[in-house]
């Protein structure tokens, strides 16, 4: 009888159906944001923190750990137990591309399990104000005619912006010079100051001030359709040279692989409820985010698998080689 009870207890633990899963959470859940407080990523986490706490029935605490383009925060989560008490707010840069483009990163995309996607930030093509290109076709023509390669900025070698622009260069045959930056703020400062020619960047609502002041131009979006917040800016689908060159960057909530189905489902339900909260939605939409519609846990995991495959292909076509 004792052996039978031991076997049943073990089975309950392995399937996540025991008291630990049923009572979850019994202590605060940490939401890891792998960037410093005050930035766009932090704003997203704090907008959802309160509604998630209410839906989960246990406190959610935002934890910021910046460094190494988000890898430090990812490693902190992966170094903890896969019990649902460490949630990771990640994007393709930390989750997928880091392990594919940086030989020093030891984890693979499969080390994480997706709980739910949160929102996408559409990419826009931004240029210095006096570059002289009104759309992406004119940008490509200018790049072909220029005796000196046009310069573009990114968040660093192997970042999604770098890989997308390298893929653009490969596809169109134009030669471009890559200028890596340590973050979005100095990159934006240099475009507005005319120090670099252009960049493909995630749209943010505060770009509108720079447009109105005539310090930058936004000449295209990589979305399939024009964006509601930028009705005057054409999509690449309207271009002659970049049709179907469509990319967005998404934010999602993840846990360490091996987290039980029962706990993953509870977290999924809490994130879904938080995304329906009117105040949270208002904050995210004000940032220029496009929120994901509700989807099941299985659909979320299928989305992550599809994105992993697609971005692995992006690394290949960009010609990037990990150091």
* 111-150 pLDDT, tens digit each: 999 999 999 999 999 999 999 999 999 999 999 999 999 9
CA nearest neighbour of 229 among 114, 121, 307: 121
Give the residue, 321 or 187, on which the prediction is more confident: 187
The arithmetic mean of pLDDT across residues 92-108, rounded, is: 94
The arithmetic mean of pLDDT across residues 196-220, rounded, is: 95
- What local confidence, expressed as pLDDT, does residue 6 receive? 47
Contact between 105 and 315 under an 8 Å Cβ cutoff? The reply is: no
Task: Kindly report the number of other CB atoms within 10 A of residue 63's CB atom.
Answer: 17
| Same-domain pairing of 149 and 75 | no
72-86, pLDDT tens digit by residue? 999 999 999 999 999
CATH code of the domain covering residue 57: 3.40.190.150
Please tell me the least confidently modeled range out of 12-21, 62-71, 129-138, 310-319: 12-21
Mean pLDDT of the chain: 92
- What local confidence, expressed as pLDDT, does residue 288 receive? 87
Domain range spanning residue 43? 27-120+249-318
The arithmetic mean of pLDDT across residues 59-67, rounded, is: 94
Residue 3 in domain: no
| Same-domain pairing of 219 and 165 | yes
Percent of the chain with pLDDT over 90: 81
- What local confidence, expressed as pLDDT, does residue 12 receive? 47
30-49, pLDDT tens digit by residue? 999 998 888 889 999 999 99
- What local confidence, expressed as pLDDT, does residue 20 receive? 59
pTM (2 d.p.): 0.83
| Same-domain pairing of 115 and 260 | yes
167-205, pLDDT tens digit by residue? 999 999 999 999 998 778 889 999 999 999 999 999 988
| Same-domain pairing of 107 and 164 | no
CA nearest neighbour of 70 among 200, 198, 249: 249
**pLDDT bucket at 323, cuts 50 / 70 / 90:** low
Residue 163 in domain: yes
Please give the tally of structural domains in the chain.
2
- What local confidence, expressed as pLDDT, does residue 27 receive? 97
CATH code of the domain covering residue 207: 3.40.190.10
| Same-domain pairing of 281 and 200 | no
d(CA 253, CA 91): 9
232-283, pLDDT tens digit by residue? 999 999 999 999 999 999 999 999 999 999 999 999 999 999 999 999 999 9
Residue 4 has pLDDT above 50, yes or no: no
| Same-domain pairing of 132 and 219 | yes
- What local confidence, expressed as pLDDT, does residue 40 receive? 83
Of 216, 238, 260, the residue at which a domain comes to its end is 238
| Contacts for 323 with CB less than 8 Å, ≥ 6 apart | 102, 103, 104
């Amino acid at each position: 009888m004792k052996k039978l009870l031991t076997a049943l207890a073990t089975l309950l633990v392995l399937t996540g159906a025991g008291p630990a899963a049923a009572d979850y959470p019994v202590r605060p859940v940490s939401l890891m944001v792998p960037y410093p407080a005050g930035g766009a990523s932090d704003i997203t986490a704090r907008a959802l923190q309160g509604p998630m706490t209410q839906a989960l029935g246990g406190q959610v605490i935002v934890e910021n750990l910046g460094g190494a383009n988000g890898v430090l925060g990812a490693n902190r989560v992966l170094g903890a137990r896969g019990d649902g008490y460490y949630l990771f707010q990640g994007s393709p840069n930390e989750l997928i591309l880091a392990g594919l483009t940086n030989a020093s990163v030891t984890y693979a995309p499969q080390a994480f399990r997706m709980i739910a996607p949160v929102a996408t930030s559409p990419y826009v093509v931004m240029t210095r104000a006096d570059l002289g290109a009104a759309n992406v076709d004119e940008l490509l023509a200018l790049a072909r005619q220029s005796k000196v390669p046009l310069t573009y900025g990114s968040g660093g070698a192997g970042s999604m912006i770098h890989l997308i622009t390298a893929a653009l260069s490969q596809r169109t045959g134009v030669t471009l010079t890559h200028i890596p930056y340590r973050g979005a703020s100095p990159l934006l400062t240099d475009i507005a100051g005319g120090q670099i020619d252009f960049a493909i960047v995630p749209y943010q609502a505060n770009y509108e001030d720079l447009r109105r002041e005539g310090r930058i131009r936004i000449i295209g979006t990589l979305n399939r359709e024009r964006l509601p917040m930028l009705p005057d800016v054409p999509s690449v689908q309207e271009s002659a040279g970049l049709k179907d060159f469509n990319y967005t960057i998404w934010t999602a909530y993840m846990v360490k692989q091996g987290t039980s189905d029962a706990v993953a489902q509870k977290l999924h339900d809490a994130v879904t409820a938080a995304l329906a909260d009117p105040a949270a939605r208002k904050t995210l939409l004000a940032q220029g985010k496009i929120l994901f519609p509700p989807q099941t846990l299985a659909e979320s995991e299928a989305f992550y698998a599809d994105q992993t495959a697609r971005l692995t292909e992006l690394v290949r076509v960009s010609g990037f080689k990990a150091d």
